[in-house]
Amino acid sequence: MQVEVFKEEVQRILEAEIKFDGHVTIVISTLTEDKLKNILEWIKECKAGIISPEPCKNYRDFISFIYKSNDNRIRGILTKQKNAFFVELFLDKHKYYDRKRKYLGI
C-alpha cells in the first residue's frame, strides 16, 4: 500500500483531516500489507469505541488510543479531542513512542 493511500484511508475511517506524526512514511513503506491492515483495523476499532482510550495528563483536553504491534516493533498513538474529533496519528518505533507518550503524559 502506498503511503498516501494509507493516509487517505485513515482519514476516511476517522472522517477527519488529521495530522501524522513520527516517521510515518518510513513505517508505512516498510510494513507488509497485513501489518498495515492490522493498523487500519485498530483505527476502525478506535473510531467505533471498541478500544478504551487513555487520558493525556499533560494535555487534559485530549485522550489517546495506544497501538502496539504483536512483534513489539511498531507503536501507535491516535489522539482525539475529548467529546470531539480525532486530531493526530503517531506511528513509529518503540523509542520515539516512549518520547511521545511522555510528551502527552500517557
Among 12, 60, 85, 99, binds other proteins (CB under 8 A): 60
Using alpha carbons only, give the angle 33, 46, 65 rounded to the nearest 5 degrees: 95
Residue 106: DSSP 8-state = -
Whose Cβ is closer to other proteins: residue 7's or residue 93's? 93
Residues 67-106 that bind other proteins (CB under 8 A): 68, 70, 72, 82-83, 93, 95, 101-102, 105-106
Close Cβ partners of 25 (under 8 Å, ≥ 6 residues apart): 3
Binding status of residue 16 toward other proteins by CB under 8 A: no
Contact 45, 78 (CB under 8 A): no
Residue with cell 518510513: 26
Rounded least distance, CB 73 to other proteins, Å? 9
Binding site for other proteins (CB under 8 A): 49, 51-55, 57, 60, 63, 66, 68, 70, 72, 82-83, 93, 95, 101-102, 105-106
